[in-house]
Structure 1
Amino acid sequence: MPVTSSGASKSRKPRPSRARGLRTTTGCLTCRSRRIKCDEQRPRCATCIKSDRECRYASSTNAPVSTVINESTPPAQASASPALARKSIRSDTQFTNSPELQFDSPFTTGSVASIPSPNSAPYEWYDLLAEDAIQNVAKYNLNLDVDKPRLSQRESPEREEPALDPQLRSPDQDTNTQLGSPPNQISSPNDSQRLPPILLDQWNSVENIPLTEDELVLFQHYLAVVGPILDLCDPTGQFSRVVPRLAVHNLGLLKSLLAVAARHLAALNQPSSVQPTSDSNIVNPLINVATQYYYETLHYLSQNLNQGSYSKSREIIATALLISTYEMFDAEGQYNNGAWERHLRGFFWIQRSQNNNGECKDPLRRAAWWAWLRQDSWVAFREGRRVLTIWRPLRRLDDLTPDELCLRIIYICGRCIDFASTESVKKYDVDTRIDQGKKLTQAMNDWYNILGSSFQPIYRPALPASDSFFSPIWIHPPSHAAAIQTYHFSRIIVAINEPSLGGMDDMRHRQRLLDDSVETICGIASTHQGKEIPSAMINVRALYAAGLAARDPVKQAGVLHLLEETLEVAKFPLKSLLQDLTTHWHAQQ
């Protein structure tokens, strides 16, 4: 012990032992083992994201990480889960460590610093909206009186008194100072008719916002067609049942709903002989209507983003997803750096700012996340990039209901698209790619083996009809048919991108799997459900993958015929898919 000049010992404050008191016990297991600071974010902390490491947390009972349920998971039930009830004879450890719970969640947008902060994410998204709104004027040669310089600038977040929703102002106030009014504006109630007597806050109203007759037609089309497209894999029907009720109390959400409904109607009324890329100066009047509502949505956002409660609300999440869907119907085949691609990224930012994911508690936020993942997976597949998600599920297959299993295969499909991405092909060597392919195949097999009877066909004749190439397969409900389509889509993507070192036997086995997937996809697409727009949207994607796997010219012709018929139903994406398949087949010869 040190002493002073007088020889007396100097007292020292007691110091906690290094074995106790200096080490955190609440961080993730990875950071604790590395003895570094952890910010304890879930499902992955920032340190593990930055170092691209697996982030694991211990449960309160010290159970394996694969069994840990996140905060959005319902309390454990004393009775057996639905999956266990369907499979009474099975090892207790089966599927405990299924690979889809262990996939790395790649940070596909670059460094952590490249993601906007939670406070700035809505404004970054607004800038994307403003940029695309201006481009749409030139794209369709629309005569909209828009103040472009002002339109491209968001309102300052430092403003002390945020403006009210323009449609909630008094009738004598000018509501078009920022966007202007087009010369041939569609019929809509004036401001005094829109003015509700009581406000829940500055951006919501107690009473329903009135609709004109024209708007009512669009509203009904959304309820009948667009909502079910988004709700195909959501039994709670959030976008068909909940969003419309929110929309009649929130003007921004209502405008985005009317915009996407008008844009989809424009697609349905587009003559087959006229492609959107045509040089024709003829513009479908519904496109004018849709674009006008798009601008009105943008006007609303510019006035209300500064209100913190709105930027964190369910309404802005629903609005963002509807605008992304609007861009989906407006896309023209090549998505790289297009409006749809950018808005998928913008929606990713907003979801991150609210910490939403596929297992969060709020059913609307959860449904929006899965609808977004379906859209982003298709764009990622077509552009050869990875899917824009850093989240991975925590719940085991055993704990999922049949409807939740329909969602889980969408996540697995996203990981398969990652495997096929240009980045993954360039980054990993052959041995690593083979190992990744095996893990993905195991994850798909685990998912398929746990399915119940509702995923099995209720009608499947032994032979196809005389005028058909494929035997129809009818699976009901449609969401379960869509899940099987997604499963076979995923299996094809992995099989055609996985390196092979097994010789001829391995190649024959792989081709048998591909042939089986082609038969199943085409069989499901050829049933009456294939004539329904929500199912047709899924069938188009699966049929395109089936075309990539088909080797026999007769089957190729059958796939091409089915795809053309399905595109006529879905009206999305463009018929360029047909040409893409034909080009692919010629290259394989």
Structure 2
Amino acid sequence: MPRRVKCDELRPRCATCSKSDRECMYAPATDSPADPKPSASDSARTSTPPLQDDALATSSSPSVAKKSVTADIDPQLFVNSPELLFDSPLTNVASVPSPNSAPLEWYDLLAEDAINNIDKYNLNLDIDRTCLSRRQSPVPEEETIDPVLDPSGQDRDVINSSDEQWNCPENIHLTNDQLVLFQHYISVVGPILDLYDSSKQLTTTLPRMAVRNVGVLKSLLAVAARHLALISEPQIHQLNLGEQIGRLESNASDANSFQNSLLQVATQYYYETLQYLSQNLLYPSYSKSREIIATALLISTYEMFDASGQYSNGAWERHLRGIFWIQRSQNNNGESHDPLRRAAWWCWIRQDTWVAFREGRRVLTIWRPTKRLMDLNANELCLRILYICGRCVDFAANERKYDMITRIDQGSKLLQALEDWHHALPSSFQPIYKVQLPEPGNLFAPIWIHPPSHAAAVQTFHFARIIVLINQPSMGGMEDFRARQRFLDESVETVCGMAMMSQEKDLASAFADFQALYAGKPHVSLIYYISRH
């Protein structure tokens, strides 16, 4: 791998680095080749000091302990390393619709499945199926500037969208039943979506948008009703939803009819959302708005909750690529200036990473962070681990395409990135309660990390580390095997210990716990078997 061409140290940016679009890295006063000064980056290119034994028991991983990315290598070569890119075939420029057509292509995916379900299941909906077809544009199509070339367009959308004719000038009146669903979204569903994001945009900003936009409102109500249909009767009491649910249950004869009623309501709102999209997608301003991003995310969330439902047929998984098209057409990413677009991007990437892991495919994004790891605050670190986790899922999908040496090297780089992320964590990510030894009859000791966003980030760290350790080949013999088993044990013990401490009312954290437990399930089963024999 070629070495970095040295900066000529002109400020604020030298000519050499400007040409190659690199960050200047000024040499220390004594430039000794035997003792180069390390640099830091978003994926943690330098080796970290040995981690101390802490409550999470996350010392350096086996491959990392032997080898780390050296400090004198051009950091851009590591960032652009082809084996670590999200290079899914579905993200190739040639296969991505143009900015103008991306929302329409996404809608076609939705409408085709929706119309097929009406025919296949004879759905009794108060809607005309012909209204799901795209209508003619109500306004002339305008010339669209590539959002990559005009990033300032996002700021204009934030200011102007409230005045658009596809928004209501006054708040939309909510019926009593709609108010119950609206409150359920804000109190239960929103915190699930905002788990990693301290700005809570999807719990605060999005509902205010919903009372001015019919599409956002209908999709929000669909999500709330579909989630409510998943909640069992004991959970309803644990969440103190009895009084609210009682208002919805008044016309239901039993629990089953109540659940069926909610499913019918959710499906109706879902189809009404599609009807709204068919009428408004051809407004050029709407197809580039925050409202369509919010609606697309809510539709995807509805389909996530409905993934095991009778009418799903894998719709959630198929439609995620359409949201990727819209995100890319608007140049949205994890560092977007608009906080709502940024929050929606991170929530979407959580969904796509999980689906990619389950399907054994790569994650649908081409974006890479620009902020260095050392420059992130605690809340940004919670989001960064989602990106690193996506790369680990990508590695699990890609690793069989490379020879063993390359695969080992890829895994080592990812393990190093994970360890460097963990080393950068402030004390707020440490447990506030931890039992040293499991109680009699239990395999694991409880661990409690607060706040929930930090706990979820730590769970995601171990989820990602388990994925890499399971998929990375080894040529280190028995010593390396034992080290790998030790790190797997540590991650599984942390994942299970944290899952034991999840509060009964904390449905948001349960999502992160479940995903981490799913990844560690084979290892947990082995531990259980050994403990019983």
User: In which range does the TM-score fall when normalised by the shorter chain?
Assistant: 0.7 to 0.9
Q: 1:52-451 to 2 correspondence within 5 Å?
A: 57-58=21-22, 97=75, 103-109=84-90, 111-137=92-118, 141-144=122-125, 146-148=127-129, 150-151=130-131, 153-157=133-137, 160=140, 200-269=163-232, 284-332=260-308, 338-421=314-397, 424-451=398-425
SS in 1 for 2:173: coil
Q: Deviations over 1:490-517 (max 9, x none)?
A: 1100001001111111110000000001
CA distance in 1, matches of 2:222, 2:357: 27
In the alignment, what sits opposite 1:529?
Answer: 503
In the alignment, is the contact (CA less than 8 A) between 1:469 and 1:555 conserved in 2? no
Q: Which residue number in structure 1 is paired with residue 49 of structure 2?
A: none
User: What code does the residue aligned with 1:126 have?
Assistant: Y
**Higher mean Cα deviation, 294-303 or 487-496?**
294-303
Name the CA distance, whole Å, in 1 between partners of 2:313 and 2:267. 20
Q: 2:125 is paired with a residue of what secondary structure? A: coil
Q: Check whether the contact 2:495–2:513 (CA below 8 A) recurs between aligned residues.
A: yes
Q: Render the CA deviation track for 1:498-549: whole Å, top value 9, x for unaligned.
A: 0111111111000000000110000000004365110001111101112133
Distance 1:501 1:158 in 2: 64
TM-score by length of 1: 0.68
Partners of 2:41 and 2:497 in 1: CA distance: 39
Contact 1:125/1:347 (<8 A) preserved: yes
C-alpha deviation, 1:336, in angstroms: 11
Aligned partner of 1:122: which letter?
P
| 556 and 265 in structure 1: CA distance in 2 versus 1, 3 angstrom threshold | farther
CA contact (8 A) 1:478 1:529 kept: no
Asked if 1 retains the 8 angstrom alpha-carbon contact of 2:474 and 2:480, the reply is: yes
Please tell me whether the aligned partners of residues 133 and 294 of structure 1 are also in contact (alpha carbons under 8 angstroms): no
C-alpha change, 1:367 and 1:147, in structure 2 (3 Å) is same
Q: Which consecutive unaligned segments of at least 5 residues does structure 1 have?
A: 1-27, 33-55, 70-92, 163-198, 273-279, 559-589
What does the per-residue CA deviation read over 1:461-486, in whole Å, with 9 as the maximum and x for residues that have no partner? 12223353210000000010000100
Gap change, CA 1:340 and 1:63, over 3 Å in 2: farther
Q: Which residue does the alignment assign to 1:483?
A: 457
Specify whether residues 109 and 219 from structure 1 end up closer, same or farther in structure 2 by C-alpha distance, changes over 3 A only: same
Aligned to 1:90: none
Structure 1 residues 158 and 241 mapped into 2: Cα distance closer, same or farther (>3 Å)?
closer
Q: 1:336 to 1:305 in 2, by over 3 A?
A: closer
* Displacement after TM superposition at 1:112 (Å): 1.8
Could you tell me how far apart the structure 2 residues matched to 1:449 and 1:472 are?
23
8 Å Cα contact 2:90/2:364 also seen in 1 = yes
Tell me, what secondary structure is at the counterpart of 1:289? helix
Letter in 2 for 1:115: V
Deviation of the 1:551 alpha carbon? 5.5
Query: 1:436 offset after TM fit, Å?
Result: 0.2
TM-score scaled to structure 2, two decimals? 0.75
* C-alpha spacing 1:437/1:62, structure 2 compared with 1 (3 Å): closer
Task: After TM superposition, give the deviation of residue 153 of structure 1 in Å.
Answer: 2.7
Q: Matched residues in 2 for 1:431 and 1:349: separation?
A: 35
Structure 2 vs 1, CA of residues 258 and 350 (structure 1 numbering), >3 Å: closer, same or farther? same
Instruction: Measure the CA separation in 2 of the matches of 1:368 and 1:511.
Output: 37
CA distance in 1, matches of 2:234, 2:131: 33
Distance apart, 1:160 and its partner CA: 4.5
- Aligned pairs for 1:24-63 (under 5 A) are 57-58=21-22
Q: Give the aligned residue type for 2:361.
A: R
Unpaired segments ≥5 residues, structure 2: 1-14, 28-38, 43-70, 143-161, 236-255
Is the counterpart of residue 465 in structure 1 residue 439 in structure 2?
Answer: yes
Compute the displacement of 1:425 (Å).
3.2
| Contact 1:95 1:396 (8 Å CA) reproduced | no
Q: Which amino acid counterpart does residue 529 of structure 1 have in structure 2?
A: Q
SS in 1 for 2:90: coil
Structure 1 residue 410, shift from structure 2 partner: 0.5
Cα distance 1:105–1:509, how it changes in 2: closer, same or farther (>3 A)? Answer: same
In the alignment, is the contact (CA less than 8 A) between 1:252 and 1:301 conserved in 2?
yes
Structure 1 residue 111: Cα displacement? 3.7
Deviation at 1:30, TM superposition (A): 12
- Structure 1 range deviating more: 529-538 or 409-418: 529-538
In 2, Cα distance between equivalents of 1:434 and 1:226 = 40
Pick one of 469, 486, 501 that aligns with 1:512: 486
Match of 2:51 in 1: none
Compute the displacement of 1:307 (Å): 1.2
SS of residue matched to 1:204:
coil
* 1:171-196 alpha-carbon deviations (Å, 9 max, x no partner): xxxxxxxxxxxxxxxxxxxxxxxxxx
Q: CA separation of 1:96/1:528 partners in 2, compared to 1, >3 Å: closer, same or farther?
A: farther
Q: Which range is displaced more, 105-114 or 229-238?
A: 105-114
CA distance in 2, matches of 1:392, 1:119: 24
Q: Deviations over 1:315-359 (max 9, x none)?
A: 110110000000000102999982111221111000001000001
Structure 1 residue 152 displacement after superposition: 5.2
Distance 1:327 1:464, change over 3 A: same
Higher mean C-alpha deviation, range 256-265 or range 541-550: 541-550
Paired AA for residue 399 in structure 1: D
Alpha-carbon distance, 1:271 to partner: 10
CA shift digits 1:438-457 (9 cap, x unpaired): 10011001101111100100
Q: Which has the higher contact order (CA 8 A, sep 6+)?
A: 2
Alignment correspondent of 1:540: 514
- Bigger drift between 505-514 and 99-108 goes to 99-108
Residue 18 of structure 1: aligned partner: none
Instruction: For 2:312 and 2:79, locate their aligned partners in 1 and report how far apart those are by CA, in whole Å.
Output: 28
Partner of 1:552: 526
More helix by share: 2
Instruction: State the structure with more CA Rg.
Output: 1
Measure the CA separation in 1 of the matches of 2:365 and 2:165.
33
**What is the aligned partner in structure 1 of residue 242 from structure 2?**
none
Letter in 2 for 1:229: I
1:229-263 Cα deviation digits (max 9, x unpaired) = 00001111101000000110111101110010011
- Write the distance in 1 (CA, Å) between the matches of 2:346 and 2:531: 33
Partner of 1:235: helix, strand, or coil?
coil
What's the Cα RMSD here?
A: 3.4
Alignment-mate amino acid for residue 475 of structure 2: L
**Secondary structure of the corresponding residue to residue 454 of structure 1:** helix
Q: Note if contact 1:247-1:257 (Cα within 8 Å) is conserved in structure 2.
A: yes
Q: Structure 2: how far apart are the matches of 1:427 and 1:446?
A: 27
CA deviation after TM superposition for structure 1 residue 296, in Å: 1.1
Quick one: structure 1 residues 478 and 503, their matched pair in 2 at CA, closer, same or farther if it must change by over 3 Å?
Answer: same
> 1: distance between equivalents of 2:233 and 2:419?
41
Q: What residue is the counterpart of 2:12 in the other structure?
A: none
Give secondary structure in 2 for the equivalent of 1:207: coil
Is the CA contact 1:96–1:396 (under 8 Å) kept in the aligned structure 2?
no
Match of 1:38 in 2: none
Measured in 1, the distance between the counterparts of 2:528 and 2:504 equals 21
Task: Report % sequence identity.
Answer: 61
